[in-house]
Chain A
């Protein structure tokens, strides 16, 4: 049984984007803060810190979750994947990222890391989604530039699906 008392800092290890890393965390430390402040991977953004905006979405053992609604302790020994994992070592964007660029799917870009991670999980489960399914998953994110149309188009392009035309609405 694992036990860490309040105020105590525990050494915890996890795999971040394929690398085994460790750092110290109090029980109350959120996974979002652990990734950014302890491990120094600042690609994951923090917006609302109560699970509404979706900016901080990361993969935990492959499943897209809000890292602000996850304690660092809960990720102990598990695999965390963040936006930094998407492009290759030379900075070449992956298919999903490239589709975001092609479709102007980001404006200020603050919400983008979370959205990319949600669709990284979702497209693995459902490689050829309909537009309605994409919109449903996107409902778990807020883009305050309100550029949702480009995001939907980008995800459909990355999945090789055709966007719905105006007439078919």
Chain B
């Protein structure tokens, strides 16, 4: 339960960090909060040659509003975003979902961007980013790219990040409307089996985000004119996404969870919008 040996580098600027990544590429892993990475290192699931610790890069430590979006830097922890005074007003979906990310003790160290970088298909933060149609900011020596969440997360633990790129921030759009979030896990704080987030911009425009059914968050638009329309749309969605079998749940159970929870979450979001 100890990591294999690796080199440790702690840059102080983004320029230094991307220079290291340009030189070492796939051999290097970026270390931010480390709440997944350290566990994987201890279990020797990953064996990087080098860890690049970005937590002391001052310019990555900000939460700021830029043109209708909240930009969260790569060194910002989940608990820091959760205690950001403007969170409930600007990003109510994150205010609802963040308490389900790990535990109080892991949120003290785990970062918002780290969760997006890890791209677990059941994770709450990538799901919220997808529903809000947010963006991921990537820097390398070649320049800066900004990718929509849907293009960034490509599959199970797979993203569009190139080996020489550093995620410097994620951007959550400030969207008007009602939101709701629920998930089902074996115990609070465990990995979710299915997570559901809804954003109701109006009665006929609901974004429904589903985590834990396919290899990445899935977002669909649903018209909410009547309860039976919503039920039909969710039924079609359950069969379209299918779900998958793993040690936590069968595909059938995942479809049932979606059928059971999604209407409640949509109703909550609509009530919250009204």
Q: Which residues of A are at the interface with B, using a C-beta cutoff of 8 A?
A: 1-7, 26-28, 30, 33, 48-51, 54, 57, 60, 63-66, 68-71, 73-74, 118, 121-122, 136-137, 139-140
Contact = CB atoms under 8 A, between A and B. Distances in A.
A65 B108 contact: yes
Given A3-B7, A6-B6, A140 B1 contact: no
Contacts of A137: 103-105
Contacts of A50: 1, 39, 42-43
Contacts of B108: 60, 63-65, 121
A27 B39 contact: no
A102 to B, nearest CB: 24
A73 B35 contact: no
B9 A1 contact: yes
B167 to A, nearest CB: 19
Given A3-B8, A65-B109, 13 more contacts: A3-B10, A26-B5, A27-B5, A28-B5, A49-B1, A57-B105, A66-B35, A69-B39, A69-B106, A73-B53, A74-B53, A137-B104, A140-B102
B38 A7 contact: no
A139 B35 CA distance: 16
Contacts of B41: 28
* Range for the number of chain B residues in contact with chain A: 35 or more
Interface string B152-186: 00000000000000000000000000000000000
A28 B34 contact: no
A68 B41 CA distance: 11
A1 B16 contact: yes
Contact of A2 (B10, B43, B189): B10
